[in-house]
Amino acid sequence: MLVARGLRKRFRKTQAVDGVDITVEVGERVALLGANGAGKTTTLLMLLGAITPDEGTIDLLGYRLPHGRSKAMRSVGFSAGYLPLPDRLRVIEVLRVFADFYGVADAERTARAGLERFGISHLANDMASELSSGQRTLVALVKGTMHSPQFLVLDEPTASLDPDVAARARRGLEDLMSADNTSLLVTSHNMTEVERICERVIFISRGTVVADGRPADVATQFGRDSLEAVFLQLASEEDR
């Protein structure tokens, strides 16, 4: 699904990413973890073809980026809670627009099915400007998954959600991934959530991969009893 080798990216004097390798298999659920400033978002943006690495190669769904980006992105979904929605449209109108962008045959039906999957059918006729941050996040998840992507990339998908709403989002994602055998690459600061939905975790620290394996194995590698403890250790090291 994804093979990235030797990714490097520098911004002026800062080496944001320094030799990162990442693979994601078909149907695999992988978390990309690290403290703020570790290089996660820069890595994600390179994997999506939004920025070009200074060095390294990226093969996504069999297409080499950047030249094959348009073809690859037809089967890629992306969602992040910080991305804005068009405020002057109703939720169902926003979703129909994006369904049309992806070439979905029945935009209305698909949009409403997505709202139902994430338990927010009641928001269909609300103005996007009236949504709470949590509701915007859920609508963004619908927007990013309407075209049944083979590969789904999520950047902090439940960061602004209350626990009950986050659980609803997880159920919707698990339903989608199970039904379509969707591959997942997700960043999150919620280690409990990561342990629930991901079978493999990749920790980045100071722009390099420092661990890659099953959650329990990575915790053991660092002599810790949980991913939370590993995250806190690496975050402390980042601050030094």
Distance CA 97, CA 209 (A): 38
Strand, helix or coil for residue 50:
coil
Distance CA 188, CA 25 (A): 20
Distance CA 17, CA 41 (A): 10
Residue type, 139: V
pLDDT at site 240: 66
Q: Structure tokens of 183?
A: 């591959």
Distance CA 129, CA 195 (A): 34
Ramachandran angles phi, psi of 81, nearest 5°: -65, -20
pLDDT at site 71: 93
Please give the sequence-ordered ranges of beta strands (E in DSSP) within the chain, or none if there are none. 2-11, 14-24, 29-33, 55-60, 63-64, 76-80, 151-155, 183-187, 200-205, 208-213
pLDDT at site 179: 84
Residue type, 69: R
Can you give the pTM of this predicted structure? Answer: 0.92
- Please calculate the CA angle 168-202-176 and round it to the nearest 5 degrees: 30
pLDDT at site 127: 96
pLDDT at site 82: 79
pLDDT at site 39: 92
Distance CA 50, CA 210 (A): 24
pLDDT digit string, tens, across residues 78-126:
998 778 889 899 999 999 999 999 889 899 999 999 999 999 999 999 9
pLDDT at site 202: 97
- State which H helix or E strand residue 197 sits in: helix 191-197
CATH architecture of the domain 2-239 equals: 3-Layer(aba) Sandwich (3.40)
Q: Let me know if 233 is exposed, middle or buried by CB neighbors in 10 A (0-12, 13-18, 19+).
A: middle
pLDDT tens by residue, the chain, 240 residues = 999 999 999 998 899 999 999 999 999 999 999 988 899 989 999 999 999 999 999 999 999 999 999 999 999 999 987 788 898 999 999 999 999 998 898 999 999 999 999 999 999 999 999 998 889 999 999 999 999 999 999 998 887 788 888 888 888 888 888 888 899 999 988 888 898 889 999 999 999 999 999 999 999 999 999 999 999 998 888 766
Q: Where are the domains of the chain?
A: 2-239
Q: Let me know if 159 is exposed, middle or buried by CB neighbors in 10 A (0-12, 13-18, 19+).
A: middle
What is the per-residue DSSP string for 153-181?
EEESTTTT--HHHHHHHHHHHHHHHHHHT
